[in-house]
Structures are given as structure tokens and as C-alpha cells.
Structure 1
Amino acid sequence: MLPTDPGRRLRGSVLATVGFVLSPLSWWNDLLVNVPLAYAFATVVALAARDQFLPALVVGYWLTNVVGLVLLHVGAQDVVSEEGRSYTKRALLTDVVLAVGYTVLVVAAVRVGWLGLPAGLPG
């Protein structure tokens, strides 16, 4: 049964849309959203500790994917369900496994030289 509260449906729609944009479920989001966000995060971290660029890139990328998947699930539940079901441990585990898989791809991109620190970064 669809929820009758328009505020809940609107909130769910916004959360699901933001979640989809951050999630690894679209072919374009990594190139246009997640990798640039993770890269910006890693660059800021590298200003303090240059050798932490790759770990920060991995953490930033992983976080964007996990947050996206969680927001997508929570938002979709608000849109399609009247009762407030909780976000299960199984759903979280699935989201984490997906995020780790995509993170392995980003680490590989750094290792083969497709991603690296900006040339003009001080330090």
C-alpha cells in the first residue's frame, strides 16, 4: 500500500534520487559524481599527509557508494511502503559488498596510473 502522507513521499523521493546519484547503480555516476567527490576528499587529506592520498581516495569512494545505496533503500521504502520498515543488516551487507567491489576498481585505476595526485599539489 502506498503511503498517503505527501511529505513522506516527497522526502523519500528526494532521498532515493540523491541515493541513486551516489549509488553504483548507474553507469555514469562514478565518472561524474563519486570519483570526483572521492578525489576531492583525497586531495584535501593529501594536503596534510601526502602518503594518505590512495587510502583517502578509497575511503571517500567507498563512503559515497555506501551512503548512496543506503539513501536509495531508505528513500524507496518511504515512497512505496506505508509502514516504516527498518533498513536491515542484510541490506547493509549487500550495499557494503557492492561498494567494496567498485572500490577495488578505483584502486586498480590508481595502480595503473589512471588516477593520481594533481601535478601542482604542494609537498
Structure 2
Amino acid sequence: MKDSLTSPQPHTVEESKEPNSSRRFWLKRLWGGGLVVLGYLLSPLSWWNDLFFNLPFAYGLGYVASYISPKIFLPAAIAGYWLSNIAGILLMQLGIGEVLQNKTQERNLKKELLAGVASSTLYSLAILGLIYFHILETPNLGLENPAFSLNALLSFGSDR
């Protein structure tokens, strides 16, 4: 019988792939962490993100859309603001999936995106409901003034 300490043992497949597997594992975690941070910066979970990320993006989208028609500046800016918040929630969801998923298994990106858009939309509707029923108060922006007319801002078909 040969001594197991003196005779070379063949390496198993798992042992030979361990350095690459470990490196891939940490790169995946780093990538997922980066997605979480970027998503947090865009999401409505951070109170200061609007000034630095969401409003400039929304204004830029509205500005570009205003080249098509000046009347669509505000709707495009609102859509850009909503999209930046949705993108933040989706990026956080994808990043957390990368960080917490231990095994390399097939992921259904379409299913994950649909779930993210659905949960983000439900979040938006919940916030609107809280504001509508005065559970969540908003700052007084002077919108209660009778001189303010939402129709004047969103006059798509009229000649202002």
C-alpha cells in the first residue's frame, strides 16, 4: 500500500476550479453590490436623491422631448421622474438577487423585471393613496390656490 502523503493525488475537478469559482463569486457579489448602490441612489428610498439624480434626469428628458413639441415638456419630465424611481427599485432588486443568490442558476430576467415593475407600481399607488386620504401630508406648494389650474399646465389640445 502506498503512503498517501508521499504519492501525488490527482486533483479533483472542484479543486482545480476553486480559484476561478471564488473569483467569480466575489465579482458577482461586487457587481450586485454596485447595482444595489446605484439603485438606492435612484430609488425613492433616499430622501436626497431627487436633487442630484432624479430631477436632473427628468428635466433632461423633458427638455429633449420638448424638441418634438413644447407641450410635452411637463408630461415627459413627470414620466422621466417616475422612470428614474422605477429604475432605482429594479436595480436594487436585481442587485440584491445577485448578492444573495448562492448558486449559479438560471434566472428569468423577464419574470424579475415584471415583478419589479409590478412592485414599483404598487409602491407608487400606495404612496398616492396615502397622500389622497391625507395619511401622508405633502408640503404646501400653493396648489390649493384657485388661480392654479392643472388644465393650464397640461393643455395638450388647446392653443395657449
Q: Do the structures match in fold with TM over 0.5? A: yes
* Bigger share in helix: 1
Give the CA deviation at 1:100: 5.5
Aligned mate of 2:40, from 20, 28, 32: 20
Q: In the alignment, is residue 67 of structure 1 matched against residue 87 of structure 2?
A: yes
Gaps of 5+ in 2: 1-21, 132-139, 154-160
Percentage identity across paired residues of the two chains: 32
- Taking the aligned partners of 1:82 and 1:71, their CA distance within structure 2 comes to 19
Give the CA deviation at 1:70: 0.4
Deviation digits for residues 11-70 of structure 1 (CA, Å, limit 9, x no counterpart): 101111111101111110122210111011101111221000111011111110111100
Opposite residue 26 of structure 2, the aligned amino acid is: P
Higher RCO (Cα < 8 Å, 6 or more apart): 1
Aligned mate of 2:75, from 39, 49, 55: 55
- Taking the aligned partners of 1:102 and 1:56, their CA distance within structure 2 comes to 21
Aligned mate of 2:120, from 68, 72, 95: 95
Opposite residue 92 of structure 1, the aligned amino acid is: V
- Taking the aligned partners of 2:66 and 2:126, their CA distance within structure 1 comes to 24
Give the CA deviation at 1:111: 9.1
Aligned length: 109
Q: In the alignment, is residue 34 of structure 1 matched against residue 54 of structure 2?
A: yes
Query: What's the TM-score once normalised by structure 1's chain length?
Result: 0.71
Q: Secondary structure at 1:47's aligned position in 2? A: coil
Provide runs of 4+ in structure 1 moved above 6 Å: none
Opposite residue 121 of structure 2, the aligned amino acid is: V
Query: What's the TM-score once normalised by structure 2's chain length?
Result: 0.56
Gaps of 5+ in 1: 117-123
